Amino acid sequence: MKKMLKRAGIGLLSITVLGGAFAAHEWYAEKPFFFRNFVDRTLVKMAFESPETLTSLGFLESAGIKGHNARLDDASPARSDEQLNTLLDARRVLMTYEDADLSEEDRLSKEVALYLLNFMDEAKAFRHHNYPVNQMFGVQSAFPSFMQSKHQVTSVEDAEHYLARLDQVERKFLQYLEGLKLREEKGIVPPRFVIDRVLTEMRGFVDTPTTQNILYTSLAQKLSEVEGLAEEEKQDLLAGAEQRIESRVYPAYHGFIAYFEQLHAKAGEDAGLWRLPQGEQAYDAALRLFTTTDYSAEEIHNLGLSEVDRIQSQMLEILAAEGIETTAGFAPAMEALSSDPRFYYPDTDQGRQQILEDYQRILDEIDEGIAQAFNLRPGVGMEVKRIPAFKEKTSPGAYYEQPALDGSRPGRFYANLYDIKATPTYSMRTLAYHEGIPGHHFQIAIAMELEGLPFFRRVSPFTAYVEGWALYAEHLAWEMGFQQQPLDNLGRLQAELFRAVRLVVDTGLHAKRWTREQAIDYMLANTGMAESDVIAEVERYIVMPGQATAYKVGMMKILELRERAQQALGEQFNLAAFHDVVLRNGALPLDILDRLVNDYIARERALAAN
């Protein structure tokens, strides 16, 4: 138990005396004596009420505790309201800890916690301005993905827990339906294309023969790796899965299908958040959340337009130097490049497998070559996987999945291989650096391993920092010589251009009332991306308002801070030390990161003066 709570982040003192009166006070009292015990306890208690979170974190299993793996979360609106009220009540207690009584680290933790809690309070009026069933990350695809990637099966008990979770799908989906109907009453209905996408996906899911469904095949694969499992017992477990998919899972999906079929007539074609009640205010709140700035939609839109012009100019120079005709403009030049078969793998299973192997090779290479730039490095490894076929058509080009908290599951870079033309060879390095090393894997895995920090800071969700770091990592890799070929650098610039275009398109959709088609046309004309990727991206921005603006805003801030430190410190500047400052505190709001870099500059100057 001590090890379990330590991994969860509970303070060392309370672990040492666990079982005594003091520990009981720290766990049950409204205000524990120690600040860190309070913030850790608040998040750990919430995690213990979310069996899916516990499975994802993966720290209880090593202590022999597995009962949570037999349950799914309570997804009811009442439970969501209860969790919000719990957090807002925690803010009240948090404010009773005086800054003068806290260490410097605890004061920073208090500041970060208040930033999050204050935003939750300000934005609670907009908590239903979302689409829980959507083509990107809705529960209809998240549940099978969770069972495949997070639910570990190493024993018969684990497999029985897997079956128990299949039994609970109907209950969970009915709770989601309750939330969907609440949104419908408030006038929050997805655009028609979102409904079309999820209906297509769910119909395909239930039309799949049971023994070919990912919930069955995933369990079969996991059981095949369980040592000592008798074939008869394995077949009994698989028969149990087959029966539950047919009697529990498919009926749950049919309930969603019936709801969205009747909702279809109420949906419109307009895509932006502006069309919903209080939609403009909700979008302003989304921009504050995702950028951790007060930039207006207009400021972000104009920043994007400026960056698009700058980056396209650099790309046109490279294209011209490579002998590609550019007089007709940017889009035709990129189309000429992207139509060249030299830059694509064979459209076969073997070609796709080679892509995964080459991504791993790229990551292994940079992992060995950037030691001088980092003092902090993650202890856990990472691997490259293909996005599951059942959801890759509507998934982004790639994404990163964090490792288990105890290191039992590595970090994973998932690549979308649905459209082979979406993976030109000249873009692969940049994508690997963003999702893997030194991008998301370095930042997220390092944060999770920072044992001196409270638990919530090791998993804090500040998108501008997290995605800004990953985009900065692409730039850093280029600076360090890992994209030496001109077309590899073009791939880097195309990825940065993509994030600049996002500033324009996201604000265009949600603030300037662009249609979905306008956004697709603009993105096609200004990125040179495959049309399948453009459509998936634009539809992502529609169901995740504001999130796409975080990348470029965060990257530009980190570069600005690095330039500030270089100018102030001159020869004293050390890149690895700067990266320490950025990475050693977990994800942060950008204004807090700004202050910490200023503090670092002041310390270095003081040391030099002495």
Which helix (H) or strand (E) segment is 311 a member of?
helix 297-321
Question: Mean pLDDT across the chain, nearest whole number?
Answer: 92
- Tell me: do 362 and 447 sit in the same domain: yes
Please give the pLDDT value at position 25.
66
Cβ contacts of 410 within 8 Å, gap of 6 or more: 380, 381, 382, 383, 403
Is 473:434 a contact under the CB 8 Å cutoff?
A: yes
Domain annotation covers residue 311:
yes
Q: Is the pLDDT of residue 19 over 70?
A: no
Half-sphere exposure of 294 (CA within 13 A, CB side): 1
Is 403:410 a contact under the CB 8 Å cutoff?
A: yes
User: Is 0.75 topped by the overall pTM?
Assistant: yes
**Which residue do the tokens 């060249």 mark?**
340
State pLDDT tens for residues 40-88.
888 778 888 999 999 988 878 877 889 999 999 999 999 999 999 999 9
State pLDDT tens for residues 222-252.
999 999 999 999 999 999 999 999 999 999 9
- Tell me: do 386 and 488 sit in the same domain: yes
- Tell me: do 289 and 264 sit in the same domain: no
Is 454:105 a contact under the CB 8 Å cutoff?
A: no
Residue 458 CB neighbours (<10 A): 20
Last residue in a domain, options 244, 273, 302:
273
Domain annotation covers residue 467:
yes
Is 195:267 a contact under the CB 8 Å cutoff?
A: yes
Residue 475's Cα: distance from chain center in Å?
A: 20
- Tell me: do 290 and 262 sit in the same domain: no
- The number of residues in the chain equals 610
- Tell me: do 339 and 288 sit in the same domain: yes
CA angle 244, 148, 60 (to 5 degrees): 100
- Tell me: do 386 and 452 sit in the same domain: yes
- For residue 462, which of 289, 331, 608 has the smallest C-alpha distance? 289
- Tell me: do 268 and 315 sit in the same domain: no
Q: Is the pLDDT of residue 530 over 60?
A: yes
Tell me the two tokens of residue 75. Answer: 């997804």
- Tell me: do 257 and 307 sit in the same domain: no
- Tell me: do 112 and 241 sit in the same domain: yes
Q: What is the DSSP letter of 243?
A: H
Q: Is the pLDDT of residue 15 over 50?
A: no
State pLDDT tens for residues 80-139.
999 999 999 999 999 999 999 999 999 999 999 999 999 999 999 999 999 999 998 899
- Tell me: do 231 and 309 sit in the same domain: no
- Tell me: do 358 and 506 sit in the same domain: yes
Q: Categorize the per-residue pLDDT at 21 as very low, low, confident or very high, splitting at 50, 70 and 90.
A: low
Last residue in a domain, options 553, 578, 605:
553
Please give the pLDDT value at position 355.
96
Residue 45 CB neighbours (<10 A): 12
Last residue in a domain, options 509, 531, 553:
553
- For residue 549, which of 295, 270, 312, 281 has the smallest C-alpha distance? 295
Is 539:505 a contact under the CB 8 Å cutoff?
A: no
Domain annotation covers residue 449:
yes
Q: At what angle do helices 463-479 and 440-448 cross, to 10 degrees?
A: 130
Is 163:240 a contact under the CB 8 Å cutoff?
A: yes
Domain annotation covers residue 595:
no
- Tell me: do 217 and 303 sit in the same domain: no
Domain annotation covers residue 425:
yes
Range of the domain at 427: 284-553
Q: Categorize the per-residue pLDDT at 3 as very low, low, confident or very high, splitting at 50, 70 and 90.
A: very low
Q: State the total domains in the chain.
A: 2
Domain annotation covers residue 369:
yes
Q: Is the pLDDT of residue 7 over 50?
A: no
Domain annotation covers residue 318:
yes
Of 280-284, 529-533, 606-610, where does mean pLDDT reach its minimum?
Answer: 529-533
Please give the pLDDT value at position 184.
97
State pLDDT tens for residues 179-230.
999 999 999 999 999 999 999 999 999 999 999 999 999 999 999 999 999 9
Q: Is the pLDDT of residue 426 over 50?
A: yes
Q: Is the pLDDT of residue 150 over 80?
A: yes
Domain annotation covers residue 561:
no
